[in-house]
Homo-oligomer: A and B are copies of this chain.
Amino acid sequence: MKDNPSPLEKSTDRRGFIQKAGTLAAGAVVAGETGLWAPRVQSQEKKKLGYALVGLGGLSTNQIAPGLEKTEHSRLAGIVSGTPSKIEKWKAKYNLPARNCYNYDNYDQIATNPDIDVIYVVLPNGMHPEYTIRGAKAGKHVLCEKPMANSASDCQAMINACKDAGKKLAIGYRCQFEPNNIECMRLAREKVFGDLKMIDAGFGFRIGNPDQWRLKADLAGGGALMDVGIYALQACRFLAGEEPVEISAQETKTDPMKFAEVDESIVWTMKFPSGVLAYCSTTYNFSGINRFSAHCDKGWFSLDPAYSYGGIKGRTSKGDVIEKPVIDQFANEMDNFSKCILEGRESQVSGEEGMRDLKVIEAIYRSIRTGRTVKV
């Protein structure tokens, strides 16, 4: 149901992206870490955890299902959709058994299906809590798209449900599995350019169809900030390696009709405990901002574009180019979660990580509402 034409692909050639990603994924299988968990499984097939996708919109169709064809430890095992015609199409295309196809009414029966190990919730944001919690109660691990929910309290309920069920929860922060973003995390963490001092980050695009769920408060929870500003926020947080403590924000609505229910454009600043400052932006009103820069004691590094599905590249103050091979971010994200499950580890993009972003997002909205610098 993530049916918005995505701005994320704009900065790469789609065909080239898929071809490159396929090539690399094939290589990755050969070089994979199968040895680590081989004793736990019997067959090649059994090595792959079965994923059921909940919500068959654009993101599932164009990104996640293709990603699952490049995974080493994950496979498409089932689907959940409210649209019978979509179920028929997917069943045929991916050769899925009828018993692995669910609608929203019989979704809870997934509890008895041994083919399904993981639920991937790809619904509108406001539906994430219900389908995560029902998935956990059905005894499945849950991977949930970002933003995790419309509020931090909903995030807490999702975390509690997965804990109560003894199941793992992860959030679909694909950039944390993207090599150029990973390289920038390394440059920050290893202080290659000295101590981090300041970050600028922004992500936005011009949203199309005015009737889509992304512009409805109950389904989306917010506008540009929830949908794409969250990438800039994530970047600030993973570069700083700490949580912002004070936030100030301003918003603008130049089209109050279209953006009657959600935010159009926001700029905000953040202060971190170490003294690092960040200045950020997000918008649904124009395309072109898709970057971050990390300014350190002895230089800087930057990605622009930073958050696309492909074509991510960057520069440093040394004159170096950052341009790691294009991989399938969704494949990497899912395989990482599968390995966490198989090895009994917490995901680095856990429910707690998702909730941290929502706390900051709530602080940004609070600052706009109150006209004050607020504590997170």
Contacts and interface: CB of A to CB of B under 8 A. Distances in A.
A289 B199 CA distance: 10
Interface string A316-350: 01000000000000000000000000000000000
Contacts of A289: 198, 200, 293, 295, 300
A14 interface: no
Nearest to A297: B286
Interface in A201-258: 202, 246, 248-254
A268 to B, nearest CB: 7
A275 interface: yes
B267 A198 contact: yes
A281 interface: yes
A288 B277 CA distance: 15
Contacts of A295: 286, 288-289
A102 interface: no
Given A277-B281, A295-B286, A317-B288, A250 B265 contact: no
A371 interface: yes
A373 B286 contact: no
Interface residues of A, number: 43
Contacts of A148: none
Interface string A271-305: 10011111111010110110001011101100000
Which secondary structure dominates where chain A touches chain B?
strand
A75 to B, nearest CB: 41
A268 B373 CA distance: 11
Contacts of A372: 371-373
Contacts of A300: 288-289
B269 A197 contact: no
Contacts of A293: 289
Contacts of A253: 275
Interface of A: 197-198, 200, 202, 246, 248-254, 265-271, 274-281, 283, 285-286, 288-289, 293, 295-297, 299-300, 317, 367, 371-373
10 contacts: A197-B286, A198-B265, A198-B289, A254-B274, A268-B269, A269-B279, A279-B280, A286-B297, A289-B300, A372-B373
